[in-house]
Amino acid sequence: MKKNRKGSDTRRSGKPAVSSAALLDLPVAKNDEVVIDIIGMNHDGEGVGRADGYTLFVQGALPGEKARVKVLKTKKQYGYAKLLELVEQSPNRIAAPCPIYDQCGGCQLQHMSYAGQLEWKRQLVVDNLERIGKLRVVREAAGAGETRVEDGQDTGNSDREGILVRPTLGMSEPWRYRNKSQVPIGVTEGGLVGGFYARGSHRIVDMETCLIQHEQNDEVVSRVKAIGRKLGITAYNEETGQGLLRHVVVKIGFATREMMIVLVTNGERIPCVNEWISAIREELPAVVSVCQNVNTRKTNVIFGDVTRVLWGREVIHDYIGDVKFAISARSFYQVNPAQTEVLYGKTVEYAGLTGAETVIDAYCGIGTISLFLAQHAKKVYGVEIVKEAIEDARANAELNGMKHVEFEVGASEDVIPRWKEQGIEADVIVVDPPRKGCDPRLLETILEMKPERVVYVSCNPSTLARDLRVLKDGGYRTVEVTPVDMFPHTVHVESVAVLMRD
C-alpha cells in the first residue's frame, strides 16, 4: 500500500492514515498542485483537464488553456481543482464585465467571448447527440455547400445522411435581455439586501445592477428595496423561518413597457401596504400591477399557492412577433423575448407549414408556440397538464382572435390518444418539454400517431439526445438541429430539431 503523502498523520489506532487518492491509486491527491491542459468544458461550464489520464474539473478554466491548479477533492473517476495560474490562455478568454461575476452564480460564461460561447453551445449539443443518442452528426463544409461527418465521430449507425447541427443562433447584443427578475431578499446590519445567490450557496450577494436584466428591472428592484428599508419591512430568514419578504419578482413587457411587481411574502399581512403601493406608484410610473404571493412553506420554491392583486391589473401584455400575450404573476413566459421570436420562427420553419396542416402542440404552456404556429396552420390543438396555463392559453387565443386553436388540460400522453379516437390526425406534432424531456408514453403516442413531421424544442441537450434516439428507433430520422442562445453568458442552450418519418 502507498504511503500517505503527508506521511505523519495517524488515526487513533496508531496506524498510518491513508489518503483516498492512495487507496484508489490515483495520480493526484488533495492539495497537490499540477499543470494540466484544459481539453474541454462540461455542461456546468467547468474546464475539463487531465492529470496522467485522471479527469479534473476546474472552475473558470477554458478549453485550449494550460493551467496550474490545486486539487480540492478526488473521487474514483474524477476530481475538482482550483485554478491558480494560467500558463497559456485561450484566445476566447475575456475580462468579465460584471463586477460581481466571481461571486454571483447567475452567469457562468462571462469570461468567454460571445463567439466562443456560441461555438461551445453547438458542440455541447453535438456531443450529447453522439454520446447519449448514439446518433451520427454531420456539419457543413465551409464554403462548399456540402456536408461531412464530424471528425472522428461516426458512431457507425445506419443514418444515411446523419444530423446536420447548425451554428448556434445568437444575439447581436447579448446583454440586458431578461424580462423577468426574481430577486431573493435577505438582511444585513444596513437593512434589506437583494441580489443573487453566491455560486453554490444560498448566501445572498447584494447588487444594484445585473447586466443580463432589463435596466428597468434593476431600477424597480432597487426602489422596492429602498422603500422596504424605509418602512422597516423584515426579510425572510431561511434558517429560522421568520421575517416577511422572501422575493421581489419584476416582469416587463419589452414591446409594451408595462411592468408588474410581485412581492413574495412569508405571511398574509404586509405592514404599511398602502404606503408601499403609494410609493411604488409615485416613484415607478411604468408599473401597472402590484401583486402579492403568499409562501409560508420552508422551501426553495419561490411561489406559494395564493396570489392576489394589491393594486392595478391582473396582467401585463407583451408581443412575440405579431402575437399578443397576457402575462399574469404566475404565468410562464419566455424570459428572452427577442430570442423567443428566433426560436419560434425556427419552429415554424421546421414545421413546414403551408396553411393546410393540423398541428398538435404538446406541453403548450400558455399557448406561446401554439399561437405562433396558428398564424401558418389550418388547425392547432394544444395540451398542457397545468390548468392555470390552459386558462391563460385560451385567453391569449381570444386576445388574438384565433378561433382555430383549441386547448385541453391533461397529460399529453392521455389527451392525444383520445383526440386520435375522435378522428383528429396531426400532420405535425410539436413538443417543448421541461428539462426532464418527454414522458416515454408521449413518445410512444407520437410513434402511434405517425405524423409526417415532429418538431422538438429542447432546453436540455442530454434529454433531447435520449428522446431523438427513441424516435429514431421508432422510424423517425432527425434531419437537422439548430441551437438557439436564449440565455447568453450562462451554460443553458435551447435547440430545435426536425424529424421526418422514414
Annotated binding residues for S-adenosyl-L-methionine = 334, 363, 384, 432
CA torsion, points 43, 44, 47, 48, in degrees to nearest 10?
-50
Q: Which letter, b or e, does each residue of 2-19 get, where b requires 16 or more Cβ atoms within 10 Å of its Cβ?
A: eebeeeeeeeeeeeeeeb
Name the DSSP letter for residue 390: H
Please report the DSSP string for 235-289 in residue order. BP-TTT---SEEEEEEEE-TTT--EEEEEEESSS--TTHHHHHHHHHHH-TTEEE
Grid cell at residue 9: 498523520
Give the CA count within 13 Å in the CB-facing half-sphere of 150.
Answer: 21
Q: Which letter, b or e, does each residue of 264-297 get, where b requires 16 or more Cβ atoms within 10 Å of its Cβ?
A: bbbeeebeebeebbebbeeebeebbbbbbbbbee
Give binding residues as ranges.
334, 363, 384, 432
Burial class (CB in 10 A: 0-12, 13-18, 19+), 493: buried
Residue with cell 429514431: 472
Grid cell at residue 134: 448514439
Please report the DSSP string for 435-465 in residue order. TT---HHHHHHHHHH--SEEEEEES-HHHHH
Conformational region of residue 52, where left means phi above 0, alpha means psi within -120 to 50, and beta covers everything else? left
The total of other beta-carbon atoms located within 10 Å of residue 319's CB is 14
The verdict on whether 459 is a catalytic residue reads yes
- Which one from 107, 272, 291, 459 is the annotated catalytic residue? 459
- Looking at the annotation, which residues are catalytic? 459
